[in-house]
Amino acid sequence: MSVQPLQKRRTAASIQALKGERPIVCLTAYTAPVAKLLDPHCDMLLVGDSVGMVVYGFESSVQVTLEMMIAHGQAVMRGSNDACIVVDLPFGSYQESKEQAFRNAARIMKETGASAVKLEGGEEMAESVHFLSQRGIPVVGHVGLMPQLVNATGGYRSLGRSDAEADKIRRDAKAIDAAGAFAMVIEGTIEPLAREISADLKAATIGIGASAACDGQVLVSDDMLGIFTNFKPRFVKHFANLAPQISQAAADYAAEVKARTFPAEEHTYQMKRQKL
């Protein structure tokens, strides 16, 4: 009897090979159960530092720690089988030096088993991206709007409308591409500029608030599912509306508990009847 080989996960190389073939599907995941549901439909699952806001209720991703990212990366790996798993390097874990970036990226790879790491930054991070790539750590870049820099840039807004902004994003993207990133998130960037950059790069571009012409798209899964509804950016589409359903389910549960109709007999353990 022949033994079927184990199905392999998508890798950095297989993701980059999709550029020009078909759009790349990516969503964020932070827990094993959600990862299991998303995995059959996604080429990449991003364990994003957006976990800080979505799961922990932080105001930004700046408060997220390396230990948090590792814990959630491990959970997503356990819940998935096929997707390429990418884990964000959180704020402060890589900006100091290329050596710091390698040390923390290597720790993420070892402790989670993920396929790649993602970091934010342009020209100033190119040396670190090259350093990691040359030492066996696949890197996803992130240009345009960079949430980890929100305190320095004055908030969340679309970028690339002025010549100076557009030129900066172009230079950043080209620098990270040349440094060896296999993929690159382009966030909050006007559509014509994101389209232009996508056509110019070897790296596969993943848009979020960018262009349909990017090589793929990513959304925060809780946004996509209509759970995280405090704020809905222009680029978000709710493919479900789960927030009211969850709220109603909780209300129904509370009503039955108060009325003592739950748990019913079928939900409890009874003494086994003696056979005569």
Q: How confident is the model at residue 3, as a pLDDT?
A: 46
Q: Is 21 annotated as a binding residue?
A: no
Flag whether 31 is in a domain. yes
23 token code pair: 């759009």
Nearest alpha-carbon partner for 43 in 217, 246, 193: 217
Flag whether 201 is in a domain. yes
Flag whether 210 is in a domain. yes
CA distances from 3 to 7, 9, 68, 81 (A): 12, 18, 39, 19
pLDDT band at 157 (very low <50, low <70, confident <90, very high): confident
Which comes out higher in pLDDT, residue 52 or 3?
Answer: 52
The CATH number assigned to the domain holding 172 equals: 3.20.20.60
Q: How confident is the model at residue 233, as a pLDDT?
A: 77
Q: What angle do CA 172, 134, 12 make, to 5 degrees?
A: 75
Q: Is 50 annotated as a binding residue?
A: yes
**123 is an active site residue:** no
Flag whether 276 is in a domain. no
Q: Per residue in 103-143, pLDDT tens?
A: 999 999 999 999 999 999 999 999 999 999 999 999 999 99
**Annotated catalytic residue, options 123, 127, 187, 196:** 187
Q: What is the pTM of this model?
A: 0.93
Q: Per residue in 7-59, pLDDT tens?
A: 589 999 999 999 999 999 999 999 999 999 999 999 999 999 999 999 999 99
Flag whether 203 is in a domain. yes
Flag whether 272 is in a domain. no
C-alpha torsion sign, points 17, 37, 140, 75: negative
Give the length of the chain: 276
- Domain containing residue 90: 12-241
Q: Could you give the 3-state DSSP secondary structure of residue 205?
A: strand
State how many domains the chain has: 1
Give the rounded percent of residues in the chain with a pLDDT score beyond 90.
85
Nearest alpha-carbon partner for 13 in 148, 151, 180, 237: 180
Q: Is 256 annotated as a binding residue?
A: no
Q: How confident is the model at residue 272, as a pLDDT?
A: 82
Flag whether 41 is in a domain. yes
Flag whether 263 is in a domain. no
